[in-house]
Structure 1
């Protein structure tokens, strides 16, 4: 007992760190930010550079950092990941998501199902078990959000329909990937024993969160907010009204919401990253969809039209087509209201620490778990490249949803409408546009005039700038570019979508690292220990190569599109067709 009392210290003695420690850790942080800027400019994937720094400074490389420091980096880095996913929730645009939900869901489902299905080829390549093949497919079904948003901003496609579909599908893929994180963790924790509770618990709890939280927002939060706004309008000088206009109040509410949902999801048995995304989406919904005073809605609109809250450019959100009228407000009142929006609070209090410290530490911590010295074995290299090709094809197939296929029923309906012009047939909805056989053919030139409500003519060149409904000849409202937008010149939109979906990134690294650390990728009993991590090495090859090739492919296609557009400036036709308009 006396020895135990002597070993327990009442406080931690303070010692000045050595100059070697200061130089190593300061160079580590500086290099993480420097290489992030360099790789973002060259390859659109700064996260890959940060992973490489983690490999070089950590256990796989020079071992400049001690094990204790690496453990702290892992813990702080995971906080950075939570904040990164939370910011993704803040960037959710509900009007755009609703308008393209069907197409985005189809793209996301393809991007999830095909990688998992093709991953079962690893049973022949590496003699993997079905569980190991499923874990590999789960890691490769994700899409790098950071790379996706950066590519969209650099190519100028953020406000187009292609950009909305791509960002929504990438977000759905990562949400499923976040659920996979908890499933893989549970499978590893049970030592590979697959039970119904192991798989169904995180899935059902995630569905409960995805259903109950929106219902609570719709039937509890929204009525309370409307009632509180009415009370504030009747008594503008009360203390509650002044308190709710403070940015510190918004910071407290947003932080408590994030911490509460993350803690609740962890204890309930689902991914706390999924809860972080829901927390950000709730804040975004409350800012943009719930009725507020006019100055608050003007501030939200100002945030959407302004710059992003991260170093990596985010696609700007589209405004709702039917927004409440904004009464004239002073600049001071709008500025005061803008301080309480989700992006403004994140920018003011979290952005610098997350983007410069916590987020780089997370990607570096992923590098700690990559055994780079073993990745260049001959058998691992060729298997990794072959698996990479399969995973690239699986994501490239997502672009097929943007290719228009002709169906016999549409041709028959078109012929009937021509034979009987007065017959009004029901319109057919498909992923390209709302096709009405009584309207003009969709291959009309982009400069075809469309009657506008004020008598002026509206062309597709400015249709994106004026998305309001236009009355048709039958008295129905229709969006100008919905029925008359031209076909793309070639398969460029499908190639852009497919290449952008190829990049994996943070969630893929996270799932594969968890599967390896929990023993999911370990070989079956009786196999030599030297081959226990072959699955992890092959999966790592696929993630790294896809993260490099995907953005490069998008850059080449976008460059080709710009050249085609320059040659077609005379006819005024958009090379991307309907996908190049807002």
Structure 2
């Protein structure tokens, strides 16, 4: 009878939390931020500390947090993951993305094919079936989006060309991995469940989102925005014009777009993380590629009356108006700074995500690591062997940034050959001066054999000849100045994280990892081996990136005293 009354109670009775609960939960949240700051300062990978705190406070460790609290942490942490991926979409530079799309695709394809291929060694290690080996490879072909964006942000590489290649390749890997989640969840342990609909539907839905959303932006959003911009130009004091200039309006619009795409993707059968990235990229496209009213259109009418201070021509305003006319009279290609997607995210989301939701997400990863079940001898050595193979599979992605004189370089040269030139601010004045020049003017000989037509800048450009060769878009057979960009890319691709745990957990819960024999003692051996690989890769990847970035910082400091540029074109800001 009491149970029946509990189910129909009109409200939740309020009870003050006891002091133990307050101390445990407050120490949990505070330590997540403290250890993140400490690890970021030392190794640029504070997320590792947050994962360890999750292990210690959660079910795998001391069990100080109740199951109900852990479930809430997982749910809030996943919201943080969605916002992290959304932020990654906001940082997308479309000119740079287009320019590096072939290279990013090659990196992503390598990161997908090699882990799946090497996972078939599990047939010898654990007598796994081909379907089980494929499911394990699907879990290990992913790249942690949350880890990728966090590492890029903490290392300051998120807007560089290296960051563009890494984030887009990681997204492609995870899109494939997340499509495989839908496939594996439908397969189960019975091969009779395999059908065309099971495999094709998640793939087609994901492709539909990747194709339909850009088409809607091009043929619906763009014309509507152009007409709205024209109206705002002719009616600067209208309610619509003033409303669209408010950051509150931009916040509501961006949030509704994110919610709509995430909801639609979930019901359609594809990844909501993929939809979050598309939402961020759509806002970034709208900010950078769609014409908006220029700043002087939004000034009050009172400024049109001449005054004593307006008699002298304002050259800066004339230049701004001339630049606006190149697009459309009174039109600028950028919205008001306070209404851009990045500004709205910084104003409304950044603090909550960085201080609460992001730490909870990485702590929730720690909750899912069965630390007490991983240390059986037969599991440990197989897990380490499989981890080594999975690390090597992802480290191979870095080879695309290493210019080597092998047959492999022939295909690599094609990726660079058809990459269009894009205007990117550089680390040197020389690169900034020549970024719009044609590549056919590049010197064909070794450094020092090139004659610059402008002799007035000879003293300035001589120490920059090395930087010019580093930033050349053509693929040469000479040794690279530094392999640090390749190491950063390779190590960042190693981290599996949330997507890997998700795929392996789905495969385990649906019986894909269950043994074919009747021996129940080895029921979860494959799952534990895969978990070993995911855990170690998630630890080693960010750790490797952090150590490499730390070394790059030191090398860049030495460069200021006459050393050479370390990252070259890969460290150039793509914005």
TM tier, shorter chain? 0.7 to 0.9
Is the alpha carbon distance of 1:239 and 1:370 closer, same or farther for their aligned partners in structure 2, counting shifts above 3 Å?
same
Once the two structures are TM-superposed, the CA of residue 4 in structure 1 deviates from its matched residue by 4.1
Q: How does 1:57-68 map to 2 (within 5 A)?
A: 57-68=57-68
CA 1:198 to 1:525, structure 2 compared with 1: closer, same or farther past 3 Å?
A: farther
- Could you report, residue by residue, the CA deviation over 1:399-456 in whole angstroms, capped at 9, with x for unpaired residues? 2222335489x99xxxxxxxxxxxxxxxx855379898996326435x955446x975
Report 1:144-543 matches (<5 A). Answer: 144-149=144-149, 152=152, 161-188=161-188, 193-295=193-295, 325=323, 337-406=336-405, 429-431=414-416, 440-441=443-444, 443-445=446-448, 448=450, 450-451=452-453, 456=457, 459=461, 481-482=472-473, 488-489=480-481, 491-524=483-516, 526-528=518-520, 530-543=521-534
Contact 1:48 1:544 in 2 (8 A): no
Question: In the aligned structure 2, how far is the partner of 1:83 from the partner of 1:443?
Answer: 47
Normalization by structure 2: what TM-score?
Answer: 0.79
TM-score by length of 1: 0.78
Q: 1:557 to 1:63 in 2, by over 3 A?
A: closer
Cα distance between partner residues in 1 of 2:395 and 2:346: 35
1:226-271 deviations in whole A, cap 9, x for unaligned? 1100110011011100111111111111111111111111111111
Equivalent residues in 2 for 1:93-112 (5 A)? Answer: 93-112=93-112
Does the Cα contact within 8 Å between 1:489 and 1:575 map onto a contact in 2? Answer: yes
SS of residue in 2 equivalent to 1:100: helix
The 1:520–1:40 alpha-carbon spacing in structure 2 relative to 1, beyond 3 Å, is farther
Q: 1:574 to 1:480 in 2, by over 3 A?
A: closer
Q: Per-residue deviation at 1:500?
A: 2.9
User: Structure 1 residues 362 and 496 mapped into 2: Cα distance closer, same or farther (>3 Å)?
Assistant: closer
The number of residues matched between the two structures is 523
TM-fit CA distance, 1:362: 2.1
Displacement of 1:344 after TM fit?
A: 1.4
Whole-Å separation in 2 of the counterparts to 1:80 and 1:140: 23
| Aligned counterparts of 1:500 and 1:297: Cα–Cα separation in 2 | 45
TM superposition shift of 1:137: 1.6
Asked whether the equivalents of residues 503 and 549 of structure 1 are also in contact (C-alpha less than 8 Å), the reply is yes
Distance 2:6 2:152 in 1: 60
State the Cα distance separating 1:114 from its structure 2 match: 0.6
- Structure with the higher fraction of residues in helix conformation: 2
**RMSD over equivalenced CA pairs, Å:** 4.0
Unmatched segments (≥5 aa) in structure 1: 299-323, 328-332, 412-427, 468-478
Q: Distance in 2 between matches of 1:215 and 1:280?
A: 16
Q: Distance in 1 between matches of 2:83 and 2:263?
A: 14
Check the 8 A contact 2:110/2:397 in 1, yes or no. yes
Q: Name the CA distance, whole Å, in 1 between partners of 2:524 and 2:191.
A: 16
Residues 296 and 19 (structure 1), Cα distance of their counterparts in 2 relative to 1, 3 Å cut: farther
Contact (CA 8 Å) 1:463, 1:480: kept in 2 or not? no
CA distance in 1 between counterparts of 2:546 and 2:286 reads 36
Q: Is the 1:297–1:326 Cα contact (8 Å) retained in structure 2? A: no
Match of 1:303 in 2: none
- Residue 115 of structure 1 and its aligned partner are, at CA, apart by 0.8
Check 1:89–1:15 CA distance in 2 against 1; reply closer, same or farther (3 A cut). same
Shift of the 263–160 alpha-carbon distance from structure 1 to 2, 3 Å rule, reads closer
**Deviation of 1:280 (Å):** 1.0
Is 1:288–1:297's contact at 8 Å kept on the other side of the alignment?
A: no
Distance 1:369 1:244, change over 3 A: same
Shift of 1:326: 6.0
Q: Report the CA distance between 1:282 and its aligned residue.
A: 0.7
Change (3 A) 1:17 1:553: closer
Quote the residue 1:308 is aligned against. Answer: none
Q: Distance in 2 between matches of 1:484 and 1:174?
A: 28
- What's the counterpart of residue 130 of structure 1? 130
Retained in 2: the 8 A contact 1:229–1:293? Answer: yes
The answer to whether the 8 A contact 2:447-2:465 is kept is no
Q: Secondary structure at the match of 1:325?
A: helix
How far, CA to CA, are the matches of 2:208 and 2:241 in structure 1?
A: 34
